[in-house]
Amino acid sequence: MANVLHIVVCAGIVPDPLQTLEPVTGPTGPGIKNEMVLPAVLDPWAACALYEAASLAARNPGSKLWLVPLGPKAKLQQVMMTVAQKVPFELVPIDGLIGGFPDAHSTAAVLAETIAELPGLDRSKLLLFGGWESATRGAGVTLQLVGERLGITDQFQGVDEISLRDDGSFEVLERVEGGKHQVSVCAGAPAVLGWATGNLAEPRNNPQVGMANMRTIMPALQKAKAAKLEANGLNYVSVALPKQQRDTRVVKDLTPDQIAAELVAWIGAE
């Protein structure tokens, strides 16, 4: 028997991982140089959460999927051109700062407020999804804080798998130390699931899905509410690139035997 779920996926946008990042300090605090012109992508772990959510929604007819991203409207529009072709969702964008330096508590407050006001959301069916960490701040706390603000006390982080049962309960696999998964059974929604990579590959672009999504995405972007993020007493003393640059020795003229001998000596050395 299918369970009707209301899945909300929180996501940020991040500079494409192949871009060079250089920190700068402006009047509002630290940021990334030319961040607004760097190509951006949906945060990788949040993207995994979105694909898992879409798969879950598709297997449970009647379910709804909202994507709630926070970022500058112009960058969100650029990223949605790609993301919209992957899976069907309803976009609820929030126009706010890009980047990893704003305080996570402020981000969570804005997200929680937006989710609480979603029209048609039944909180008893709510599964709050997102990446367990972002590729910007990487704090791994935003989703927890949103869950707390929404009064959800069944939370799971580093999730790789969820198996929904007929009675609405689900088994969830969370990453723990030593390459293992903790297996838990939760009585059902509402719950918070911070996803690691999950088990799904990135869906192929589907122009039909893209066209259906874009009909609602552009109006949603126009209506995106602006969010002001408080600092909450957070002060950056310094923000810098790591100084460690190694003096690489490139070895081109050794035979496999010689390389193997050198490596074995290196492995054995304390």
Partner 1 sequence: METILVLTHADETGSALSKASLEAVTAGKELAARISAPLTIGIVAADAAAAADTLTSTGARLLAVFGEAFAQARYASDAVAAEALCRAAKATIVLVPGTSRFARVAAGVAHRLGGFIDTHITALGGTEAIEACRWFYRQRIEAVLSRSARPWFLLLDASTHAAFAGVPGAGQVKQIEQVAVELPPLRTTVSGFRAPAQDAQTIRPDAKILLVAGAGWTKKQPDGQVHVGEAGELILGFLRTTGASLGSSKSLVDQGVEGNSVLPFLTHLNQIGQTGATPRHAKGLSTCCHGEEPHVVGWRFIGDRRAISLDPNCGWTRGKADVVYVADAFPVMAKMNALLEAKKA
Restricted to residues 3-22, the positions that interact with partner 1 (CB under 8 A) are 14-15, 17-18, 20-21
Cβ contact 96:229 at 8 Å = yes
> 46: which residues sit within 8 A by CB, 6+ positions away?
9, 10, 11, 12, 130, 131, 134, 195
Interface with partner 1 includes 33 (CB under 8 A)?
A: no
Q: Which amino acid is at 150?
A: L
**d(C-alpha 61, C-alpha 69), whole Å:** 24
Spatial distance between the Cα atoms of 6 and 188, rounded to a whole number of angstroms = 12
Residue 42 phi/psi, 5-degree rounding, is -65, 140
64-72, 90-98, 119-127, 139-147 -> range binding partner 1 (CB under 8 A) = 139-147
- Minimal distance, residue 185 CB to partner 1, in Å: 5
Nearer to partner 1, 57 or 135 (CB): 135
Footprint of partner 1 on residues 91-120 (CB under 8 A)?
A: 100-101, 103-105
Which residue lies nearer to partner 1 by CB, 215 or 249?
249
Phi, then psi, of 236 in degrees rounded to 5: -90, 120
Q: How buried is residue 101: exposed, middle or buried, by Cβ count under 10 Å (0-12/13-18/19+)?
A: buried
175 makes contact with partner 1 (CB under 8 A): yes
Token output for 42:
């949906």
By the rule CB under 8 A, 178 interacts with partner 1:
yes
Number of residues that bind partner 1 (CB under 8 A): 89
By CB under 8 A, residue 36 contacts partner 1: no
Residues 230-269 that bind partner 1 (CB under 8 A): 232-242, 245-252, 254, 256-257, 259-261, 263-264, 266-268
Work out how close the CB of 203 gets to partner 1 at its nearest, in angstroms, rounded to a whole number: 11
38 binds partner 1 (CB under 8 A): no
Residue 206 binds to partner 1 (criterion: CB under 8 A): no
Name the one residue in this structure whose structure tokens are 């918070």: 192
CB of 202 to partner 1, least distance (A): 8
Query: Measured from the CB of residue 98, what is the shortest distance to partner 1 in angstroms?
Result: 12
Residues 39-78 that bind partner 1 (CB under 8 A): 44-45, 48
Q: Which residues contact 131 (CB under 8 A, 6 or more apart)?
A: 11, 43, 44, 45, 46, 47, 48, 49, 143, 194, 195
* Type of residue numbered 254: L
Is residue 90 at the binding interface for partner 1, with CB under 8 A as the rule?
no
Q: Which position has the token pair 């054995």?
A: 268
Residue closest to 155 by CA, chosen among 136, 182, 135: 182
Window 186-205: contact mask with partner 1 (x via CB under 8 A): xxx-------xxxxxx----
